[in-house]
Amino acid sequence: MAAISETELADDGMIAEVVGAWAKNKHEHLCRYIDISRAARKGFVHSFRSKTPHGTTAGAAYIDLFCGSGRSVIRGTNEWIDGGAVAAWKMSVKGLAPFSEIFISDTNEQKLRACEIRLKALGAKVTAFVLPAVDAAKEIALELNQHSLHKHGLHFAFIDPFGLEGLDFRIIESLAVLKRIDLLIHLSAMDLQRNLTINIEAEESAFDKFAPGWRDSVNCVGTQYLIRQRVVEFWRQKITALQMWPSTEHKLITGQKSQPLYWLLLAAKHPLAHSLWETASNPEGQGALFG
């Protein structure tokens, strides 16, 4: 079929995005983690309307800061798939541990409202923000921390920007203030590999948002492989300084010609999350990042 534009109707009568086939792989791993972590989440979900040992109620929120329309068509095909937020909600329901609330944001209001409608039609409680991801992350973290129903909850955020520049470190800083939060992060391989020289030499580059302070800390002498390692390691150290730990296990998402597109990795405060992600991310036994 001919590729549709982002504003044409999807199979359910609302707008959709056109995506590569690799999006299916990405969402499979997102859903694998949500499914595997259902037992941990279930305790917080089941206590949502009752008192916890600490005297407060809990809950488990799902956060998607780049939600899009919630529905996509695979480029060049008639195959329709759910967007990340919709797929995540469906999997949480299937596992009998549905998220107590869904927080979504996007700068495109038409896409955001379509995603909101799709989620609500499935029974989700949704709060939507027409905001850049940086601002939405701050608003969501503030709301969760101030709301007694969520302050002690177990929350999960899918950070899935279009490129490295969209992975603004302030997003991670804002969400890291939450007591219990797991972050599944899309780390662009293309920007780190193909655009490495551009990002190093430009006066302002994606690296400045991704890992602020890198210019004063990263040695840019050596092979591109070594420089990439140093930039990512600096970024990982910045996350660790927030009392979160980025996983060494990852999932490499590739294109139709097996070209590396991006890695999915987890940042979390509890070792159980890393154990679960190791299982969810690595069924094929992939090697280490940059290995």
State pLDDT tens for residues 213-254. 999 999 999 999 999 999 999 999 999 999 999 988 778 888
- Does residue 41 fall inside a structural domain? yes
Looking at the structure of the chain, the number of domains it has is 1
Residue 143 domain-assigned (yes or no):
yes
| 211 within a domain of the structure (yes/no) | no
Query: What would the pLDDT profile of 75-95 be if each residue is shown by its tens digit?
Result: 888 899 999 999 999 999 999
Mean pLDDT, range 28-34, rounded to an integer: 95
Range of the domain at 157: 17-190+245-281
Query: Are the C-beta atoms of 130 and 100 separated by less than 8 Å?
Result: no
pLDDT of residue 286: 44
Torsion, Cα 136 85 189 273, to 10 degrees, reads: 90
265 in Cβ contact with 160 (< 8 Å): no
Residue 234 lies in a domain: no
Query: Which has the closest alpha carbon to 152: 8, 27, 54?
Result: 54
CATH of the domain at 180: 3.40.50.150
Whether 230 maps to a domain, the answer reads no
Instruction: Place 52 in a pLDDT band, splitting at 50, 70 and 90.
Output: very low
In a domain, 116, yes or no: yes
235 within a domain of the structure (yes/no):
no
* Cα separation, 38 vs 27, whole angstroms: 16
Helix, strand, coil content of the chain in percent (nearest 5): 40, 20, 40
Q: Tell me if 90 is assigned to some domain.
A: yes
pLDDT of 57: 54
In the structure, what pLDDT confidence band is assigned to residue 166 with cuts at 50, 70 and 90? very high
Structure tokens at 128: 């939507």
